[in-house]
């Protein structure tokens, strides 16, 4: 595994995860040389207590990464590159851009979602640069990059191929290898193969579902499940999901159209994401298919499909309000069917169970993942998918990211199956520097300093 393109024999390349290691959310990574610094992703996380406490205050609390390492080096900060539009990858951007001016590079839908976020939270002035897959961008003296299309549960998910003086780093955001993605745009494995043939220094790869055998099922399966379950009922149907699952929203709309139902959305972030994606052409919505809460209410119940936020059991969400009879438009009751189309963020088991009990108590039927396994599929690759990308990149070093400690260890196990030695696999913690340097004619890697990170929490209004 020779690594070419070494220009600077005395310098260094550092990879520092500021978030996203072992905790899944709050993703933010730094790549740094003597001259330049690039950040990949800038997401939010959720405090542990919020998951169990029903307290309103804790529920609105979010965590943002500790930016101080980057702020102290902002003279050489060249770019924020964003892999995709999920909250745990873009949610902290407003707070970051209030501290520092830096161009943000990302694909079109993600750019739209970021702009909508900045409109609400500021700052007003920001440089958001939309890229497609064929553009190469130079950043300072040491870096250039291009985006590589992957599949996930939201369109326009990209990996970053970052060319550095020590070789190429492939940094995936979240991904799976969906053989039949809704937008028909497949993962560009060929591009990763091509980089692999030329020599990749580091693969920083999604690892969350490494313990699952085989390949992650296609997102399309969820639409088939919606169709099957909704077809059986004549009552109102409610589907609750993550508000940024754009592909899931599309499938609900398609199924509604096929079964003669109209759709409405309940929940602020769900509505906002829907509007951005529709306006940019990422959602195909037949005319009059999606309507307001008030108009939908007047239709016969067999013609109603309501998409609601609150799949994680949040007490302030549209779904929870409907269950308590406090929502301004909809009150759950006899004959209603509620589909929980998501898995659980660890720690949310209790509030979700509570919400589901509440829904059953008012006479509605609940279907969730444990009863109907294909009501949700993971947006993350399983072992075979992760191995496929590992083989394609053929990187000299590996660093699983975006996983739990267990899934990162499992990823390392998969790598050993491909003859990776332990000294080529780095299971990093947040703040732990991985440093590449030049030694006796070749690039080597070692653990560098561990940066102390503080916890920053923000109460959202
Ligand atoms: Zn994601």
Q: Which range among 303-307, 347-351, 443-447 shows the weakest confidence by mean pLDDT?
A: 347-351
Q: Distance between CA atoms of 310 and 161, rounded to whole angstroms?
A: 35
Distance 87 CA to ligand 1 centre (A): 8
Backbone conformation region of residue 419, classed left if phi is above 0, alpha if psi is from -120 to 50, else beta: left
The superfamily CATH assigns to domain 220-375 is: Metallo-hydrolase/oxidoreductase (3.40.50.10710)
Q: What is the 3-state secondary structure (H, E, C) of 224-243?
A: HHHHHHHHCCCCCEEEECCC
Distance 24 CA to ligand 1 centre (A): 10
Distance 246 CA to ligand 1 centre (A): 11
CB 158 within 8 A of CB 128: no
Q: Name the pLDDT band for 52 (thresholds 50, 70, 90).
A: very low
SS3 191: helix
ipTM of the shown complex: 1.00
Distance 1 CA to ligand 1 centre (A): 30
Distance 153 CA to ligand 1 centre (A): 7
One DSSP character per residue, 281-328 reads T-S---TTSB--HHHHHTS-GGGEEEEES-TT--TTSHHHHHHHT--S
Distance 235 CA to ligand 1 centre (A): 33
Distance 61 CA to ligand 1 centre (A): 20
pLDDT at residue 328 tops 60: yes
pLDDT tens per residue across span 367-418:
999 999 999 999 999 999 999 999 999 999 999 998 999 999 999 999 999 9
SS3 219: coil
Mean pLDDT of 22-42: 94
Distance 84 CA to ligand 1 centre (A): 7
Q: Look at residue 272 in the predicted model and tell me its pLDDT.
A: 95
Distance 286 CA to ligand 1 centre (A): 27
Distance 88 CA to ligand 1 centre (A): 7
Distance 137 CA to ligand 1 centre (A): 24
Q: Look at residue 2 in the predicted model and tell me its pLDDT.
A: 44
pLDDT tens per residue across span 340-364:
999 887 778 899 999 999 999 999 9
Distance 76 CA to ligand 1 centre (A): 28
Distance 309 CA to ligand 1 centre (A): 17
Distance 223 CA to ligand 1 centre (A): 19
Its CATH architecture, for the domain 12-214+378-459, is: 4-Layer Sandwich (3.60)
Distance 173 CA to ligand 1 centre (A): 7
Distance 319 CA to ligand 1 centre (A): 22
Distance 329 CA to ligand 1 centre (A): 31
How far is Cα of residue 163 from the mean position of the Cα atoms in its chain?
23
Distance 273 CA to ligand 1 centre (A): 14
Distance 358 CA to ligand 1 centre (A): 29
Q: Name the pLDDT band for 4 (thresholds 50, 70, 90).
A: very low
Q: Which residues belong to CATH 3.40.50.10710 in the chain?
A: 220-375
Token pair for residue 405? 């400690």
Q: Distance between CA atoms of 175 and 334, rounded to whole angstroms?
A: 39
> Residues near 198 by Cβ (< 8 Å), separated by ≥ 6?
4, 168
Distance 388 CA to ligand 1 centre (A): 19
Q: Which residues belong to CATH 3.60.15.10 in the chain?
A: 12-214+378-459
């Amino acid at each position: 595994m020779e690594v070419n393109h070494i220009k600077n024999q005395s310098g260094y390349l550092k990879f520092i995860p500021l978030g996203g290691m072992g905790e899944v959310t709050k993703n933010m990574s730094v790549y740094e040389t003597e001259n330049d610094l690039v950040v990949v992703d800038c997401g939010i996380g959720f405090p542990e207590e919020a998951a169990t406490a029903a307290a309103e205050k804790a529920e609105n609390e979010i965590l943002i990464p500790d930016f101080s390492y980057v702020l102290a080096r902002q003279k050489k900060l060249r770019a924020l590159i964003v892999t995709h539009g999920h909250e745990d990858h873009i949610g902290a951007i407003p707070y970051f851009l209030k501290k520092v001016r830096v161009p943000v590079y990302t694909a079109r839908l993600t750019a739209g979602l970021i702009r909508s976020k900045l409109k609400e939270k500021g700052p007003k002035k920001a440089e958001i640069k939309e890229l497609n897959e064929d553009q190469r961008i130079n950043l300072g003296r040491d870096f250039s990059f291009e985006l590589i299309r992957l599949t996930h549960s939201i369109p326009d998910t990209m990996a970053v191929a970052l060319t550095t003086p020590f070789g190429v780093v492939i940094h995936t955001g979240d991904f799976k290898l969906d053989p039949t993605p809704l937008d028909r745009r497949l993962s560009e494995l060929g591009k990763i193969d091509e980089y692999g043939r030329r020599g990749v220094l580091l693969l920083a790869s999604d690892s969350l579902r490494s313990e699952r055998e085989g390949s992650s099922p296609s997102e399309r399966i969820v639409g088939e499940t919606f169709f099957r379950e909704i077809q059986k009922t004549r009552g109102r149907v409610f589907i609750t999901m993550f508000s940024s699952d754009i592909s899931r929203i599309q499938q609900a709309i398609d199924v509604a159209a096929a079964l003669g139902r109209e759709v409405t959305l309940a929940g602020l972030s769900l509505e906002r994401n829907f509007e951005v994606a529709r306006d940019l052409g990422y959602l195909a919505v037949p005319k009059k298919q999606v309507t307001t809460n008030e108009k939908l209410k007047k239709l016969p119940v067999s013609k109603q499909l309501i998409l609601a936020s609150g799949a994680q059991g949040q007490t302030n969400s549209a779904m929870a309000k409907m269950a308590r009879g406090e929502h301004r438009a909809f009150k759950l009751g006899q004959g209603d069917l509620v589909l929980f189309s998501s898995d659980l963020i660890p720690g949310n088991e209790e509030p979700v169970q509570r919400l589901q009990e509440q829904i059953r108590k008012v006479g509605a039927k609940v279907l969730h993942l444990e009863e109907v396994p294909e009501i949700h599929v993971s947006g993350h690759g399983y072992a075979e998918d992760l191995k496929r990308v590992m083989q394609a990149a053929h990187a000299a070093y590996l660093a699983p990211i975006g996983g739990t400690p267990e899934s990162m260890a499992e990823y390392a196990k998969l790598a050993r199956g491909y003859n990776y030695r332990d000294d080529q696999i780095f299971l990093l913690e947040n703040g732990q520097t991985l440093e590449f340097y030049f030694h006796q004619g070749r690039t080597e890697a070692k653990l560098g300093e561990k940066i102390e990170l503080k916890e920053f929490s923000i109460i959202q209004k």
